[in-house]
A and B are shown apart, each in its own frame.
Chain A
Amino acid sequence: DVKVTQSSRYLVKRTGEKVFLECVQDMDHENMFWYRQDPGLGLRLIYFSYDVKMKEKGDIPEGYSVSREKKERFSLILESASTNQTSMYLCASSSRGKETQYFGPGTRLLVL
């Protein structure tokens, strides 16, 4: 079975802090994605990556950056956390040539 893990289930940070969210997948998938999910807004794509050291902006990249130094790991960085970044963050991965994405359990981030 595909396994996507995220470093934290719950996280509380202060406004202005730099926040790192880590995602690791164990299926040698080429593609990795970061989403945020908010009530009434659904899943929104922040960034995605099709290969190591490659990244593409999604629909809402402002205030975020990403890093993919290894194939299995995709990090989301909030450079200076703000309260409007309080959300559920979901990581996903997929194999090249396959449309189906596999999701991690999510990280609930609260920015105070």
Chain B
Amino acid sequence: AQSVTQLGSHVSVSEGALVLLRCNYSSSVPPYLFWYVQYPNQGLQLLLKYTTGATLVKGINGFEAEFKKSETSFHLTKPSAHMSDAAEYFCAVTLNTGGFKTIFGAGTRLFVKA
């Protein structure tokens, strides 16, 4: 079965510290991978995506992610956390199930301590 797994439902970092949010997927075909961010009571906003080409992708707000096929991973990183990064982050994969459906991981809530 195709799936997306986010390791750690909660991650807490200090302001200025490295942010690392983990995402692994299972897919029998090349996936299209996304990271979305959700602020309270709002919809989801795209941070970045991998479709083809360069495996290191850069997104908004200083985030980046690297697609590692051998590890079936797409971890999200940011070198220095800011208080405004506190939010819920979702990894997602678009799969060719005959119609290209996008499924989401359970999410990781990021806390940033002053």
- Do A and B pair up? The answer is no
* Chain A positions near chain B (C-beta within 8 angstroms): none
* Chain B positions near chain A (C-beta within 8 angstroms): none
